[in-house]
Amino acid sequence: MLPALDRGMDPESWQALGTPSDPQRIPGHPQYSLRQLLLALDIKREHVTPLGKPESEALRLRCEIVNEALRPAETTEEWQNFFTSELAEHRETAFAGTQLITARNESEEALSIALLLREAVEAGKSTALISPDRTLARRVASELTRWGIVVDDTAGRPLEQTPPMVLAILTAKLALQGLDPVNLLALLKHPLAFLGMKAKEVRSAARALERGVLRGPHPRPGLSGLREAVTAAHDLAMEKADRPVSRWRKLVEEDWNAINTLLDRLEQALGPLEALLQNPNEIPVEDIIKTHVDAVLLLGADENGSTEELFSGENGKALAETLTSLLEADAAGLCVPANEWPGVFGALITGGAVRSRTPADPRIHLLGPMEARLQRYDLVVLGGLNEGTWPQRTRNDPWLNRPMKGQIGLDPPERKIGTSAHDFLWNLGAPEVVLSRSERVDGSPTVASRWLQRIVTLAGQSVEQQMRAKGKRYTELALVLDRSETPVRPAKRPEPKPPVEARPVQLSVTAIENLIRDPYLIYAKNVLKLDEVDPIGGEPGAADKGNIIHDALANFLEDWDGPFDDKAVRALKTEGGRLFRPLDAFPAIRALWWPRFERIAEEFVAYEGEVAPKIYDRFLEEYGKVEMQRPERNFTLTGRADRIDQMKDNSLRVVDYKTGQPPSAKQVESLLSPQLPLEVAMIRRKGFEDLPHDMPISDMLYIQLKGGSDAVKLESRVPKESTAEELAEEAWKRLEQLVAAYENPRKGYLSRARVLKEREWAASYDHLARVQEWSLGEDGEDA
């Protein structure tokens, strides 16, 4: 049987299709394969007997017009005869049962198709979506669940996307490609990963590992790097127990023990596979497969040592069959470098599929072009009609080029296009046909399928408009289906007003600036108790650099009691080297930061040598607090001063290190950046226990540590027309007013209340405040 054989094609076009030996052959035409079969059987086309007749006159006309539209490019000059023929006069009748859906994107296309199929089954029609785009098929299946319709994609689920196989893929990638933090968490949170423990224990330890170690700069590659990172994080958490970082605040010793137990199990499972990387030579595939399978079994074994859950169901059976076939296969001496095995393994499993045995709705079918052959339905949707999808792009074989394929009798890549074109032609013979495409896929513009363009061209503008009008109904329904019944208005600038008893009664001097500039940040952090989290496996940023330099200077000044000479420079660099050690995993960043630190160390020691004769004592990282008396609830201001120097002239100098840009003199004097004035106010109120509180303040100083041409830069912030004490008292007065204002339940925490430069201020909680929504005016510019 020769389905969709065009018995009406003119002899010139039929001959133009060519033969396998003809260099001018047209393998991309839908009739090419049928011609080759007839030539091989030595049967003439006119001797083929048609089976039955078209179901209607409209179908007969449509088939003739579509065959004409798909004629070989070499004979398309015959189209001018078509437009004047009697057949052209019946185009409206031929395409009466045809619709054209042009959606804006793939989501809209899927929902439009789902609505159409839903309507068709209500009318008792048998329906099918036919498309090589399996993503579109899955989207349609998902949309149909809105109405409780469960359909099965006959192409199945790609093997590499099934949960058991995902576990096997992650196993290879983690062990042989550096233990990427994101992949590591994907494995540890995988529902089939047990590592010989209870699922609850694994997930709990994985969350602790994520919070305490993996969020922030990623560890060195490999299991040893992860072990080092865990040890370093634990030691640092213990060292800073009196002022814990937010990510370690909720971790107790039991959590660290659980992390180490989890790491022991990981080393047991992945260690042998990772050890293959130590072999500089190529390794026999049989050895890699066996080690890989052993690792998967250890990861998938529960607390009783059973892998029953890993291999249960269709997905588990597919994994078992795949691993068994790999173990039993003859690799013929194939050897590969260990680090290339994840790619080889991925190639070996590509193309496999797992078909579900779940009962599905028999009225709707999701088919690929191959599965749809010789099937008949009342209504057929041909979806994904874009270039690159239907037909798919041809790819040149890296092993055999076109001439080489021709020499050994293999088909050119265009042969697949011809087969795909034949499937398209065949399915246009359904009583009702819907042609569907999206104008954009993954955000990129698309081009309509070449076959669709040809059909629309021959159908004519009037018929095209009719097809589009019928299809537009479903895209319009898709647009209103999820539309709110009430008008959607942009969010207003948030100003939450929590109960007074829920508002913070203790803030640091650095938090006061946030309360002035962006009160919503205080609401999120101190009322809702939402801590900012670092990205998983990120890179060190400006804050990390600042912390390293701060700690290096503080530790150096705390321990050093000698003269500030070359030996002091070496001591500071040694301390910096110790703190820079975690950056060994980031050689590019370390190469950029370390020379800057060396310049900072040299100039800082030189500066200390100049100022040391004037200093009586240094108070480093001094913590203080002052309680403000209030009618209802007292308020506590806290602060940790980088450095306060007691000078030999019986004055105090308040110093703050800045690795970035320090606040300007105007910002300090206007008290938009009140940190230093408030620290002075705390000194006057005996907030720092070890400091003399009655000495005059000789300076409020920022020491900028950038490491450039001016590695260490001093910037005083004592007002020109007043004293540090006067500015401090004004800061305290305004703080009292600010605290009193927020004791009023009607006072809210407004988002970005006094941000000087909107475009430069980026708070970690802006997404919660929906800044991008309310900050845009109707013209799209910043409001």
Contact indicator for 554, 546 with CB cutoff of 8 Å? no
Q: Give the burial class of 110: count Cβ atoms within 10 A of its Cβ; 0-12 exposed, 13-18 middle, 19 or more buried.
A: buried
Q: Of the ranges 71-75, 412-416, 603-607, 631-635, which one carries the lowest mean pLDDT score? A: 412-416
Contact indicator for 701, 714 with CB cutoff of 8 Å? yes
Contact indicator for 179, 221 with CB cutoff of 8 Å? yes
Contact indicator for 128, 367 with CB cutoff of 8 Å? yes
Cβ burial 472-496 (10 Å sphere, 16+ → b, else e):
eebbeebeeeeeeeeeeeeeebbee
Phi, psi of 181, rounded to the nearest 5 degrees = -60, -40
pLDDT attached to residue 779:
39
pLDDT attached to residue 755:
66
| pLDDT over 70 at 781, yes or no | no
| pLDDT over 90 at 452, yes or no | yes
More confident residue, 596 or 533: 596
| pLDDT over 70 at 701, yes or no | yes
The pLDDT of 469-473, averaged and rounded, is 95
Query: Which strand (E) or helix (H) includes residue 466?
Result: helix 450-481
| pLDDT over 70 at 328, yes or no | yes
Confidence of residue 782 (pLDDT cuts 50, 70, 90): very low
Confidence of residue 355 (pLDDT cuts 50, 70, 90): confident
Residue 620's contacts (CB-CB under 8 Å, 6 or more residues apart) are 554, 557, 558, 642, 643
Residue 537 zone, left/alpha/beta (φ > 0; ψ -120 to 50; rest): left
The pLDDT of 636-662, averaged and rounded, is 95
Task: Say if residue 217 is preceded by a cis peptide, omega within 30 of 0.
Answer: no
pLDDT attached to residue 329:
84
Tokens of 577: 């080297």
Of 703, 704, 706, 686, give the one whose Cα is nearest residue 695.
686
| pLDDT over 50 at 621, yes or no | yes
The pLDDT of 426-447, averaged and rounded, is 93
Which residues are 647's β-sheet partners?
Answer: 615
Confidence of residue 780 (pLDDT cuts 50, 70, 90): very low
Contact indicator for 364, 113 with CB cutoff of 8 Å? no
pLDDT attached to residue 320:
95
Confidence of residue 762 (pLDDT cuts 50, 70, 90): low
Q: Of the ranges 38-42, 434-438, 571-575, which one carries the lowest mean pLDDT score? A: 38-42
| pLDDT over 90 at 169, yes or no | yes
pLDDT attached to residue 325:
92
| pLDDT over 60 at 633, yes or no | yes
Chain segment 104-115, per-residue pLDDT in tens:
999 999 999 999
Q: What is the mean pLDDT of the chain?
A: 90
**Secondary structure of residue 695 in the 3-state scheme:** coil
Give me the percent of the chain exceeding a pLDDT of 90. 64
The pLDDT of 644-661, averaged and rounded, is 95
Quote the pTM value: 0.78
**Secondary structure of residue 602 in the 3-state scheme:** helix
Q: In the chain, what is the straight-line distance between the N-terminal and C-terminal CA atoms, in Å?
A: 69
Residue whose token pair is 């990638």: 173
Give me the percent of the chain exceeding a pLDDT of 70. 97
pLDDT attached to residue 778:
35
DSSP designation for 409: T
The pLDDT of 559-588, averaged and rounded, is 91
CA 466/CA 566 separation, integer angstroms: 87
Contact indicator for 159, 354 with CB cutoff of 8 Å? yes
Of 19, 39, 20, give the one whose Cα is nearest residue 408.
20
